[in-house]
Structure 1
């Protein structure tokens, strides 16, 4: 009996499981339509300083993600495990003067098969040809002024690119002498047209997502004084009518780690949104259905594989959770 116990214990310790404190919290029966009761949190890799910006490459069946402070990006696949993707990922210098974090942040596999990159070190949104590795600048200025440090990315059904531009990558953040813009903007870049400013009133805009029908834009604010996910409605081709979609203040008050950050949306319009304590699973109405409770601050998430695996970057870890709901784009 003791031998069997020790064997079971050794197997458990060797298996790629998440932390014992990580678990799924079910608050509403409707969660069963999105996340199976038997779903387990799978540990894929660790050892990062701050993992961010996961993006699934459907052609090559691998995940890309950033380690922002280390100025590196990694790739992970079931067959090859963890590998370095870009080193350096952002600024060509590891620790350039004037930067707090010079690496890449949000990544997004674009509909054309390229990789969109929010590059702190370049203070730009870039597009990478994954076959050649060559990059081109999509945008690095707004009305002639340098961007702060683009953070996260989303693409709407019509091909419009949306991105947030807080100053997290700059030393001194809001007080950085490198800042040229008076705001921390949310921007839209439609094909073949100049960038437009969706909102200049948010303190620290961070993660963002577009609803599957393109009717709504969600933007998370990573401000401890206002940890809110906002929703904008599209009117006459522009996102406006900002409303509070979900307020994470009660969960931050519990002392749970993290702030609203990255998010992923399903084909059914459900939102998996990072925040204090892990990932909130929200109905299209904004109702909280449950949580993926994690014991480390969680930066971002994205769907991958067959569209029913949620990859999560949480502190120093890369995790995955199987879902019933499918991410947008897999059956479009």
Structure 2
């Protein structure tokens, strides 16, 4: 298949020869944050500069506004109760959409200082939310609202929604971005996309061990992404890492070896596994939403 680039023959095990790369929708300015709703057979994703969230219906293929305006929403996920959790650049906060449609603000400040612009978020099995807070939404008015950082740095945080407590878990990133847990949650992978604003800055993924008390240790570079920068990350049930990049989606073995790529004709921002069997990779790439079936299943739930 011309859209697959095999680097290591192990990558061929993911390819289903009869399946094609599909373009599901086009017309976005910067597609981001895809999240799949298996109970409704639809996908929600963000279009940050257009200040909207879109809904793609799996049965009909129709795309319509899910939320507009959307506070320049970026990353999305679902919590353990199936509720939508959204990073909002414009409002500099993380919200949860309740089952009845009400929006609950989960966090918008740390120690009295406003967040920069929460970018991506994942939920651990204990219900805690882990999120990154780079400055992309406050650098210009294009992806949010231009402003100064009140915190003065870009951190990674853990939020316990049960009591609202926010804990900083990493403070040595240039621009922390996508993140994902390994299937057993012993490791947390975090992207640093600093090179988006300087060729000398980081463009790698770091891997941390996760302590039982919620602390992180280690943080060695797991893989460097080229071309482009790492953005959204997903992990399959076997622990392979699927990473957004400048030329598509890169797949890494748990040992850090690059196995192959899914080539996309524009920069990829974020990805998610979906479909009833979690074997369809949805790809949010600049102006379009793509999808391809793989012989792999996403590890994230629900």
Please state which structure has a larger fraction of its residues in strand: 2
Residues 256-309 of structure 1, C-alpha deviations (whole Å, 9 max, x = no match): xx4210011111111110123111111111111100111211100001112000
Q: Counterpart of 2:90?
A: 121
Q: 2:224 aligns with which of 234, 247, 252?
A: 247
| Deviation, structure 1 residue 37 | 4.5
Counterpart CA distance in 2 for 1:236 and 1:265 is: 21
By how many angstroms is 1:38 displaced? 4.4
Report what 2:198 is aligned to.
none
- Spell out the pairing of 1:1-332 with structure 2 (5 A cutoff): 23-80=3-60, 81-90=62-71, 103-129=72-98, 131-172=99-140, 177-193=147-163, 194-224=165-195, 225-237=201-213, 238-248=215-225, 251-252=226-227, 258-305=228-275, 306-329=277-300
- Unaligned regions of 5+ residues in structure 1, if any? 1-19, 91-102, 253-257
**Distance across 1 between alignment mates of 2:260 and 2:236:** 15
Q: CA deviation at 1:151?
A: 0.5
Deviation at 1:329, TM superposition (A): 4.1
With the length of structure 1 as denominator, give the TM-score of the two structures: 0.83
Query: Could you tell me the TM-score, scaled by structure 2's length?
Result: 0.91
RMSD: 1.8
In the alignment, the residues of structure 2 paired with residue 285 and residue 36 of structure 1 have an alpha-carbon distance, to the nearest angstrom, of: 24
Distance in 2 of aligned mates of 1:285 and 1:132 = 43
Bigger radius of gyration among the two: 1
* Aligned counterparts of 2:139 and 2:231: Cα–Cα separation in 1: 20
Task: Indicate if the aligned counterparts of 1:73 and 1:87 stay in contact, CA closer than 8 A.
Answer: yes
State the aligned residue count.
Answer: 289
